[in-house]
Structure 1
Amino acid sequence: MALLDSLRLLQIVVLLLAISFVYLVYISIYRLFFHPLANYPGPLLAKLTTWYSAYHNYVNDVHIDILRCHAVYGDFVRYGPDRLVINSANGFHDIYGHAKNIAKSKAYWALLGREEKWSVLTAWDKKVHGRKRRVIAQGFTEAAVRGYEPVIKENITILCKRLLASDGRDAAPEASSAWSLPLDMSKFANYLSFDIMTDVIFSVKRHLIENPDYRWITSCIESMMNRIGVVSMVPWTRWWGLGLHWAIKPDGVRAYLRFHDEAEYFAKARMKQQLPEGRKDVYQNLLNAKDAQTGEGLPLPELLAETGLLIVAGSDTTSSALAGIFFYLSHNPSVYAKLAHEVRTTFPSVSSITHGPELRSCVYLHAVVDECLRMCPPVSAAPWRVVLEGGQRIDGHDIPEGTEVGTGLYSLMHNPAYFAEPFKFNPDRWIETEPNPAANIEIQRRAFVPFLSGARMCAAKNLAMAELLITTAQVLHTMDFKVADGPEGKVGQGTVGMGVGRERPEEFQLYSHFVTVAKHGPILQFRRRDAD
């Protein structure tokens, strides 16, 4: 009897395995030869499974792989069974522009927390997103950002003091000509961006620049976002309702839970305090904001959820661009000298570095920041969208409904069709001259999309630009910096042996999953400007 039971169990197992095998063969043949996207080229594994892109998110090189795929297969690449990645300016604007028959992909559901509340980042429904976006945008208008400027500058001043300190514990070296100890600017860009975002949003901060006790938060965010990048490529692990997504990168799950508690601290601390007269933060502005169409604001739970996500989105993305600015300035002496001269002759003092005519007149400063955003976009992979019923024409191709489409931002902004010598750091490409007429710059501008465009453009773009411009100007006005001596000076560069797409020593190495991350370097030394 026991033998018969064992044989029956074996037969059931063999039958299940056979059914699974037949199903896999069937789905593979369908996806390769009969799927609506079967005629689009792409990596074989990508045509068969979304785990291909999930892997490249896991190893943080999805932006490089998308670029490589375009080099091999052309502007239209099948990057998943139901996904196309498109590397053209026309394609980008057909996907992300206004009034397109396209919605946000359900890949963004990876950002949903335990409560599964929709946010401006995750809302798939256009009406829900529109209502939230109209309110959130009021916290980041140019006028609102000017109101946050004293807080931004205060944090930058703290950073400058720290950069000039010998080791973070002692005061600045007595000799003004002394160079500081080497400092990893990816880390300090993270600390500054996080302190600014929490201070601007909640008027509460953990003082990461000065206090190492809470610097674990930045590693926590990176681990959390890495997991989100992987899960966003396999969102069906969430839809099946089996909780499979929680088994993907458990360290990222733990990081999410830990950060969730920290975000609650910021929210509760803000709700308890009364701001000094005349000071406003994003929380206060959004609390008072009303949707112009409905006359309604955001309920408090929604507001707190939005601001918590904004901390992550704002700090994690701006920091990579800021680290890139330090890298490219320190590795391009002629650019450094030209920008330092512009800043130091335009502003008589650090206190005069504010939004206004002087800052707007710094043409080279804006060119440097734009070029760094091109080289180090805050999101370097493809923000995915889905084609709705009726289909959508994208750069001359009729794309069927249900197809997920996107443009790799790193790839588009390194496309030689729009940017000559795309891997060369060249701020002059943004300045009109006889050899570089306005028509050339217009072609580049159409493909320059670090903050996306259309209804889904980054709501906090004005704040991000203020942080990048003022930080760069204030640091250059206050001090000089150089690449650290010895092997540490090479940290952040590409080199042979780092992998495909990471061989260029002149390129700052980025790590991409859901957002762009600068993990290491540049390692720099600083000294006061009055040094000989």
Structure 2
Amino acid sequence: MGILTLYRLFFHPLHKYPGPILAAVTDWYEAYYSIIKKGGLVIEIERLHKLYGPVVRVGPNTLHFNHYSAYHDIYTYGLTLVKESGYYHGMCTLFPESIVACCDPEDAKSRRGTLGQSFSRRAVISLEYAIQTKIDRLVALLEEHYNAENSTVQLVIAYRALTTDIITSYCFAESANSLDTTPDFSHFLLRDLQEMIKSFWIQRHFSSLVSLASSAPEKLVLWLFPQFKVYLEMKTGFERQIDKLINNPASFDNVDHETVYHHLLEAKGPRRPSRTLLVDEAFGLIGAGSDTTANTCNVGTFYALKNEEIRQKLTEELREAWPDKDRPMSYVVLEKLPYLTALIKESLRFSLGIVHPLPRVVGPTTPEIGGLKLPPGTIVEMSTLFLHMNPEIFPDPYTFNPERWLAEDTSKMTLDLAPFSKGPRICLGLNLAWCELYLIFANIFRRLELKLLVTEDTIKDFTAIPADYFVPQWQKDYRVFVAKVKC
């Protein structure tokens, strides 16, 4: 151990890069801030960049960057870099065969080609009605249960229920029906998923134990990890639906619309996916398609309600473009509205999507990363936070300002807006996410009159850096009064 420590400190190819001694010596430095400091890694990385500069050694073989050119070298143009398998296999312990866990570029490209058919712009528009149906349900529930003067709703929970129902309905033609647990949207799926998120880093750093436990008898698993109840129940549901489709292909004809399984099961020969792979893909899609979109809606709604000028500009634009609020407004029309688009882009910039840095491995033909020629095998990464909060591209970055997106030239900002990541591993569901955001924001602000419940907490903005549980976790909740818009 002593020899390894000496090697990492004085002879390792990265020994010349600044950073904490403990980070250079052991990978458990990251685990300490993620687990013991409860999602504090990105907060610590920001401190390290202030102390050491734009390149910091955050692990024995890992460099974290804080420069927009490095981000694009790693992700946007990073065709010669691959996902770091240790991180992704640990992160996806419970769904190891999903595309999220896939580190082989050729395999990932093939899988994306198959799954991508379900998330193309054309496919999303064809299923817009399924998204609108869930939004209509939320609007009706808010009108029904929160229309009294002394009644308020915690919107972040309502948004999670909505996005969970949308992604399950869209992907599997079977909704989780989280919205039906009114008045407080206390569906076990939402509650237990949040508990699983809080234990995320245990899964990442102790993946072998979690993997062993998940294969144990169900009673033992629930005794050891009570929060796994939602995982086991979801797994049973996915297996039931998949077995039905495999054993009786004609049952495809009985679902409301095409599901992700249609394309996956069309594959023939040795590449035909296994039952396990189909279940794992289902988990990956739900995880990627629920909290991230809900967080964006939650952040954007808060600032639109807190700032009267933002709310007024948004509602005036919507009223003019959508005079009859009782008739649905299509996504292709809404996406042409400049202020609504600006609000959504600023909400995406603030909410980040994924806050944890996504590690990539330098290959033998990788060009420079942020101006540095690094040895093959080096792990490089950069959290989206440092891209979205870069004052060189986004002046006064910690101010929520949709107006910045209405400037004459927004090309540099657009290049550096990466809530879905960039490049060959960009999020598969970005077309669905854009459609959801336009429809949700438009329907909420056109059909409802929301008013922020003012407390000492709501006076403050969202914290500059949220807790890092892969997706951001803000220690801020707010509640709103709800009334139906009269005209």
Shorter-chain TM range is: 0.7 to 0.9
Larger mean Cα displacement after TM superposition, 343-352 or 140-149? 343-352
1:259 matched to which residue of 2? 231
AA partner of residue 136 (structure 1) = L
Structure 2 residue corresponding to 1:315, chosen from 284, 290, 294: 290
| Corresponding position: 1:198 with 2:168 | yes
Instruction: Give deviations 1:115-148, integer Å, cap 9, x for gaps.
Output: x742210011112211111111111001111122
| Corresponding position: 1:76 with 2:52 | no
Q: Tell me if the contact between 1:165 and 1:180 (Cα under 8 Å) persists in the aligned partners.
A: no
| Corresponding position: 1:227 with 2:199 | yes
| Corresponding position: 1:26 with 2:3 | yes
1:282 matched to which residue of 2? 259
Structure 2 residue corresponding to 1:110, chosen from 90, 110, 113: 90
Instruction: Give deviations 1:8-36, integer Å, cap 9, x for gaps.
Output: xxxxxxxxxxxxxxx2x433333222221
| Corresponding position: 1:44 with 2:14 | no
| Corresponding position: 1:166 with 2:145 | yes
Secondary structure of the corresponding residue to residue 418 of structure 1: coil
AA partner of residue 210 (structure 1) = D
Structure 2 residue corresponding to 1:187, chosen from 133, 157, 170: 157
1:152 matched to which residue of 2? 131
1:353 matched to which residue of 2? 329
Determine the C-alpha separation between the residues in 2 that align with 1:135 and 1:152: 22
Determine the C-alpha separation between the residues in 2 that align with 1:458 and 1:55: 28
Secondary structure of the corresponding residue to residue 309 of structure 1: helix
Counterparts in 2 of 1:205 and 1:128: CA distance versus 1, 3 Å? same
Counterparts in 2 of 1:120 and 1:68: CA distance versus 1, 3 Å? same
Secondary structure of the corresponding residue to residue 352 of structure 1: coil
Larger mean Cα displacement after TM superposition, 307-316 or 180-189? 180-189
Secondary structure of the corresponding residue to residue 286 of structure 1: helix
Instruction: Give the gaps of 5 or more residues in structure 2.
Output: 216-220, 246-250
Instruction: Give deviations 1:140-180, integer Å, cap 9, x for gaps.
Output: 0011111221111111111112222335xxxxx4xxxx546
Q: Tell me if the contact between 1:371 and 1:425 (Cα under 8 Å) persists in the aligned partners.
A: yes
Instruction: Give deviations 1:386-431, integer Å, cap 9, x for gaps.
Output: 1234554202101122221111101211011221001000111111
AA partner of residue 511 (structure 1) = A
Instruction: Give the gaps of 5 or more residues in structure 1.
Output: 1-22, 168-172, 494-504
1:61 matched to which residue of 2? 40
Q: How far did 1:184 drift? A: 1.4
Instruction: Give deviations 1:15-65, integer Å, cap 9, x for gaps.
Output: xxxxxxxx2x43333322222111212233322222222233231233333
Instruction: Give deviations 1:319-338, integer Å, cap 9, x for gaps.
Output: 11111111111122111110
1:20 matched to which residue of 2? none
Counterparts in 2 of 1:251 and 1:463: CA distance versus 1, 3 Å? farther
1:525 matched to which residue of 2? 481
2:218 matched to which residue of 1? none
Structure 2 residue corresponding to 1:425, chosen from 371, 381, 400: 400
Determine the C-alpha separation between the residues in 1 that align with 2:232 and 2:253: 28
| Corresponding position: 1:121 with 2:100 | yes
Q: How far did 1:285 drift? A: 4.3
AA partner of residue 203 (structure 1) = A
Percent identical among aligned pairs is 25
Determine the C-alpha separation between the residues in 2 that align with 1:143 and 1:297: 25
Structure 1 residue corresponding to 2:382, chosen from 391, 399, 407: 407
Counterparts in 2 of 1:461 and 1:89: CA distance versus 1, 3 Å? same
1:376 matched to which residue of 2? 351
2:413 matched to which residue of 1? 444
TM-score (norm 1): 0.80
Larger mean Cα displacement after TM superposition, 343-352 or 329-338? 343-352
Counterparts in 2 of 1:154 and 1:123: CA distance versus 1, 3 Å? same
Determine the C-alpha separation between the residues in 1 that align with 2:167 and 2:211: 35
Larger mean Cα displacement after TM superposition, 454-463 or 301-310? 301-310
Counterparts in 2 of 1:182 and 1:277: CA distance versus 1, 3 Å? same
1:329 matched to which residue of 2? 304
AA partner of residue 194 (structure 1) = T
Determine the C-alpha separation between the residues in 2 that align with 1:507 and 1:338: 25
Instruction: Give deviations 1:423-451, integer Å, cap 9, x for gaps.
Output: 00011111124xxxx1xx22222221110
Larger Cα-atom Rg: 1
AA partner of residue 330 (structure 1) = L
Q: Tell me if the contact between 2:264 and 2:272 (Cα under 8 Å) persists in the aligned partners.
A: yes
Determine the C-alpha separation between the residues in 1 that align with 2:306 and 2:5: 48
Secondary structure of the corresponding residue to residue 397 of structure 1: coil
Q: Tell me if the contact between 1:316 and 1:517 (Cα under 8 Å) persists in the aligned partners.
A: no
Determine the C-alpha separation between the residues in 2 that align with 1:54 and 1:483: 38
Across the two proteins, how many residue pairs are aligned to each other?
471
Larger mean Cα displacement after TM superposition, 216-225 or 198-207? 216-225
Counterparts in 2 of 1:68 and 1:216: CA distance versus 1, 3 Å? farther
Structure 2 residue corresponding to 1:480, chosen from 446, 449, 470: 449
TM-score (norm 2): 0.87
Determine the C-alpha separation between the residues in 2 that align with 1:482 and 1:179: 11
| Corresponding position: 1:514 with 2:470 | yes
Q: How far did 1:360 drift? A: 2.6
Instruction: Give deviations 1:239-279, integer Å, cap 9, x for gaps.
Output: 79996999xx9999543454133232145257659578894
Counterparts in 2 of 1:222 and 1:388: CA distance versus 1, 3 Å? farther
Q: How far did 1:71 drift? A: 2.5
Structure 2 residue corresponding to 1:467, chosen from 415, 419, 436: 436
Secondary structure of the corresponding residue to residue 22 of structure 2: helix
Q: How far did 1:520 drift? A: 4.0
2:248 matched to which residue of 1? none
AA partner of residue 39 (structure 1) = K
